[in-house]
Structure 1
């Protein structure tokens, strides 16, 4: 059985929590960018992203607001798949995953160590089903449609950028949106790394 991190309670629902306005998807203008410490930047349209190989993975989610949801099945593109689309410069150890915030495609960001994101449980997702569903459902706009990053369960869910727009590859760690406001850089729910 999955382990409940300290200070958390289990929920059957998928609560909606976000900062700023809900992004309204426009396929003509939506882009996904791979940039930073790479030999050549890449930019993808929605259809190009959706043509990439897909992975299905079951991921437990732990929100810093104290809820946890177990056994969520997601379908999406692994971060590993996107890393393989660029040639990284030496000594890249961190990423920032960006998303829309109040109309700015790069207004939201979350920092993460790259080494922890190379398995099937680091996914840019577009549909899901939980233990009570037989059919897949598209993620809703409030949950990050058309593409949301779901981090491994070793990170609180604020590291999962909604309305994802790109990955910046970095040699040094940098604060993201919530980290600038005093949240933990490492965000491990099993160690209760909520704030600094």
Structure 2
């Protein structure tokens, strides 16, 4: 029996991993792709723990790499449910690295993964809601709703069938681009 609502703390997950030379890119920093893989894994774990079902990644909202991660640092990823819909949830992620020798910690990135719960037949399935107990949790939930609405507006505004070039030409005046439009 699925609970109707769960405390956010019931599904929070964190992992810490030592960053190895095999995780590095050509400049000697930890490869962004490795970090994204870890982020997807922890988002899956958090969403699956909350929903009690296998979950898939529907979208990732903005991943900015704020600080480089060095070989030999400890990387900690924290995941928490920020929003629940009927079958989907937004998992908030925070990534921090720690220099083992100095104890210095750096915030490396934050991101939001939208995850969808699937039943044993691969169909989207209902999930429990979340119980919001702090202003911070309410802020995160409201932010997720706003982000979803802004995303829908952004998608429809630039749809190929409705996009009007003339409405956006002013954006190119100071850009590092040249328009040589061929009429089709």
Structures share fold, TM-score greater than 0.5: no
Q: TM-score scaled by structure 1?
A: 0.26
Q: TM-score scaled by structure 2?
A: 0.28
Using CA pairs below 8 Å that are at least 6 residues apart, which structure has the higher relative contact order? 1
Which is higher, the Rg of structure 1 or of structure 2?
2
